[in-house]
Amino acid sequence: MKSKVFHQDSRKIGQFLPSDIKIQTTITSPPYFDMKDYGVDNQVGYGQEYSDYLNDLKLIFKQVYDATKDDGTLWIIIDTFKRNNAIVPLPFDLAYQLKNVGWLLQDIIIWKKDKTVPWTSKGFVQRKFEYVLFFSKTPVFKYNKDRVRVYDTRQLKKWWVKYPERYNPRGKALDEIWEFPIPVQGSWGNEYIRHFCPLPKDMVANMISISSDENDIVLDPFAGSGTVLSQSAYMNRQYIGFELNGEYIKQFKTYLSKTLKKGKEEYTKLLNNNNQTSFETIIWDLRVLKYGRILINELEKRICCKTLKIFVEKIEDNTSAPYNVKYTICGIKRDDIIMVYINDIISKPPLSKFEIRPLFRFSTAKPKTRNCFFYSKTNSYSYIKDGNVDDKKVKVISQIKVDLNEKDYE
């Protein structure tokens, strides 16, 4: 099925989706209950009783459930509101209804949207966030979390330099608070679609990345300005939308025709961005060097010797944990007692947490130092300038070059 927008009521999804079409993920923001008029008759939300509104959403998402793959998911952006001097907990009322349909609530995310309509009232502060409810159809669902990890070192605490074992080499996982400002009028240029509640395209891109792969089908039963649909097209997904307002559909098609090429280019550029690979390399390099430094320091304590050094070599074709590394301990011969000490040291924290598989060699000769860098017993994230193998401060020798200043990341 080619990507398509139906000019139809989303309460009729089941009538228009072919039975052989299966949705991978649905991303949508239902109309605000009785708060915004979207300019069409018989719309969901505006002018309805609350119970009718909930029943309609339950009906819609039941049909979505039936049309979703077994490993499929559902994202709903939704908020509370105030009626009769009291908060109405719409996100939680809806989650209860969808539980009865079969959807499994997997996560509740806070979307911190920054700019918003400056409504305030007594006992009701200005609204700065909405809820994102994440459901799955079954306990086994597609979830590509590594695609959206934070690997920008400027966004990480400075401790990643000294404590690389605490950070996933693929980057920091997203937390439960997502900060994405609402697009302001005109922020998308002349192609921008005027709509009450446009979603941030980067937030939608995160959802698409997490819960689908290329060529999967993404659904938005309340397509509105078409953010979900256009972002799906940029990211080489098929899309299906339902929208009652024909004017929105026209605007979306015009917008997509003007931005598709640029959107696809940005997506391709993101896929080819090597920043995440670079971050992964530096985390592993930091771990590998620190592992050797801790090991040699602890071993010296066990055997009461202060002249040991360790030569560190990465083994080729490392792609994931456990990371294979060759450690040559210089200044001592191998014997059973030494190996007992070593095995005891590496089997306990902190080294047991490094996800490194070590291969040990021993040598009584000086290590080869051609094209090598030297690290001290206290610092393996910055090499010793003008160091040499005979320097008493030198404990780690390696062709791995790391030169970081933790103060640069404060």
Co-location of 95 and 123 in the same domain: yes
* 65 in Cβ contact with 103 (< 8 Å): yes
Co-location of 95 and 187 in the same domain: yes
Residue carrying the six token digits 């809806």: 94
- Cross-strand partners of 133: 76, 108
Co-location of 246 and 295 in the same domain: no
pLDDT at 230 over 90: yes
Three-state DSSP class for residue 351 = helix
Give per-residue pLDDT as tens, 348-379.
Answer: 999 999 999 999 999 998 888 889 999 999 99
pLDDT at 135 over 60: yes
Co-location of 157 and 210 in the same domain: yes
Share of the chain above pLDDT 70, in %: 90
Co-location of 57 and 191 in the same domain: yes
Domain count, the chain: 2
Co-location of 358 and 234 in the same domain: no
Co-location of 201 and 337 in the same domain: no
| Residue spans of beta strands (DSSP E) within 29-122 | 68-78, 81-83, 86-88, 104-112
Determine the Cα–Cα distance for residues 261 and 110; give it in Å rounded to an integer: 32
Question: Minimum mean pLDDT among 84-93, 148-157, 223-232, 337-346: which range?
Answer: 148-157
Last residue of a domain, one of 208, 242, 273: 273
Determine the Cα–Cα distance for residues 327 and 380; give it in Å rounded to an integer: 15
Co-location of 62 and 109 in the same domain: yes
Write the single-letter amino acid at 15. Answer: Q
Co-location of 229 and 312 in the same domain: no
pTM (predicted TM-score):
0.83
pLDDT of residue 234: 97
* 219 in Cβ contact with 197 (< 8 Å): no
Co-location of 136 and 219 in the same domain: yes
pLDDT at 140 over 50: yes
What is the extent of the structural domain holding 291? 276-409
Co-location of 400 and 251 in the same domain: no
- Cross-strand partners of 104: 136
Give per-residue pLDDT as tens, 251-294.
Answer: 999 999 999 999 999 999 888 877 888 899 999 999 999 999 99
Q: Where are the alpha helices (DSSP H) in 154-214?
A: 159-162, 201-211
Return the H-helix or E-strand segment holding 103.
none
Residue 18: which CATH number?
3.40.50.150
Co-location of 54 and 190 in the same domain: yes
